Amino acid sequence: MPALVVIGSQWGDEGKGKVVDVFSSQSDYVVRYQGGSNAGHTLIVDGKKTVLHLVPSGVLHPNTKCIISTGVVLDIETLVQEIKALKANGLLQNDEQLLISDTATVLLSYHRRLDQAREQDAKNEKIGTTGKGIGPAYEDRASRKAILFGDLFSPDKLKEKLKKSIDEKNFLLEHKYKEEPVDIDKLFTDIQGWTEELRPYRCKNSPYEIHQALKADKKVLFEGAQGTLLDLLHGTYPFVTSSSTISGSACIGSGVGPNQIDKIVGITKAYTTRVGSGPFPTELDDEVGTHLGTVGHEFGATTGRKRRCGWLDLVALKYAIRINGITNLALMKIDVLSGLETVKLCTDYKVNGEKTSVYPTTPGDLSEVEPIYKEVPGWSEDISNAKSLQDLPANARSLISLIGAEVGIPIDVISVGPGRKQTIWVKPLF
């Protein structure tokens, strides 16, 4: 089983980083293929916390090669800081462990500034972006104005492309948002410094590198960022991110064919969270919502924003299973449900008085639905040290079986806490 994709099946923050970290010990390669520093993958090893934004979560395993591939928008300033922090913590000691694709899109300060200026200007219609410049950077790629990572190594070409890319942004910053324009000369000098820091990681042909690995039967893990419902085309548009977050994006963003992928692992929390604006049918504004947020430490790893919390939405999860082709599920943070008298699962929606189990994809329709719940008894025991299904209380086991039966996909991994060892492997995946 050499190629496996790990994706989030909700609105992000499902715990993909932990799953990828655990799988990485058995992987030869981990490939990040979309998104940028809007992602925040939290890893806790021996009680020590590492938050990664751009470097693939496989970095904690010295024998695993990490590739940042073409589909990523690469904030080079942030990446340099992230690499320095990893090195200061004794990680990423070997430069050959990280490869950055020459064809990844470079994200610079003006993308961030434009993203933030737009959000500020939007007043009541904010998307609630992370302010990391993701939208403007992908716009550059689509409008053929992007600077690619490989361009950084040809200063003349870079200067020319920088001027072209900044021209319109400066017009917007100065005249629409009444802000200071970008100082191109200063930025150019800064870029040269960052480029030297990143030079050791340059990969001129990342699709070829990945193909060679697959051909040699190496284990390659494709690490998704954000979640299915934030997908640019299939998410809750316009309250989505600017990249494709579904499993197909692993192929597009890294340059491999769909027939190369063997398994697609969907990561889902035992409840739901969302950061930023947009519809959220099972959202809770009561003490259960507070319990989930507090016990689950539901604050954004990138922005520190409080996450909105609600019950697990199986209608949305079944949609995620369909559009990603999910073959196996990992159920995360089930320990957070400990102490709740009852647990609810949204099994259907009511739309205009009619019951349906079909997730609506038309923008706006999701805000009209009313969730229909199945309620099951909870448990009070602390389950954070459970090592096998048998260690779980009967009610927790019933809940897991019920979720698996409702969605028709095996739950092969159950996470009962943030640590690597707080994981129940129902079935080996890799």
Which residues form the interface with ligand IMP (CB under 6 A)?
A: 11-13, 38-40, 127-130, 132, 134-135, 225-226, 230, 239, 241-242, 275-276
For residue 346, the cross-strand partners are 313, 373
Q: Please identify which of the residues 21, 28, 41, 53 carries the catalytic annotation.
A: 41
Nearer to ligand IMP, 34 or 338 (CB): 34
Tell me how crowded residue 200 is: count the other CB atoms within 10 A of its CB: 12
Distance in angstroms (rounded) separating the CA atoms of residues 95 and 116: 33
CB of 1 to ligand IMP, least distance (A): 27
Angle of helix 76-88 relative to helix 184-198, nearest 10 degrees, comes to 40
Is 211 one of the catalytic residues? no
Distance in angstroms (rounded) separating the CA atoms of residues 418 and 295: 12
Nearer to ligand IMP, 59 or 267 (CB): 267
Nearer to ligand IMP, 7 or 214 (CB): 7
Asked if 35 contacts 241 with a C-beta cutoff of 8 angstroms, the reply is yes
Q: Please identify which of the residues 13, 231, 313, 348 carries the catalytic annotation.
A: 13
In degrees and rounded to multiples of 5, residue 309 shows phi and psi of -125, 150
DSSP single-letter state for residue 148: B
CB of 24 to ligand IMP, least distance (A): 19
Is 167 one of the catalytic residues? no
CB of 389 to ligand IMP, least distance (A): 29
Nearer to ligand IMP, 132 or 269 (CB): 132
What residue spans of 89-198 are helical by DSSP H? 109-121, 134-142, 155-171, 184-198
Q: Which residue has its beta carbon closest to ligand IMP?
A: 276
In degrees and rounded to multiples of 5, residue 119 shows phi and psi of -60, -40
CB of 276 to ligand IMP, least distance (A): 2
Opening angle at CA 207, ends 321 and 247, nearest 5: 5
Nearer to ligand IMP, 11 or 23 (CB): 11
Which residues touch 197 (CB under 8 Å, ≥6 apart)?
A: 80, 83
Tokens 């647990």 correspond to 343
CB of 124 to ligand IMP, least distance (A): 15
Residues with a catalytic annotation lie at: 13, 41
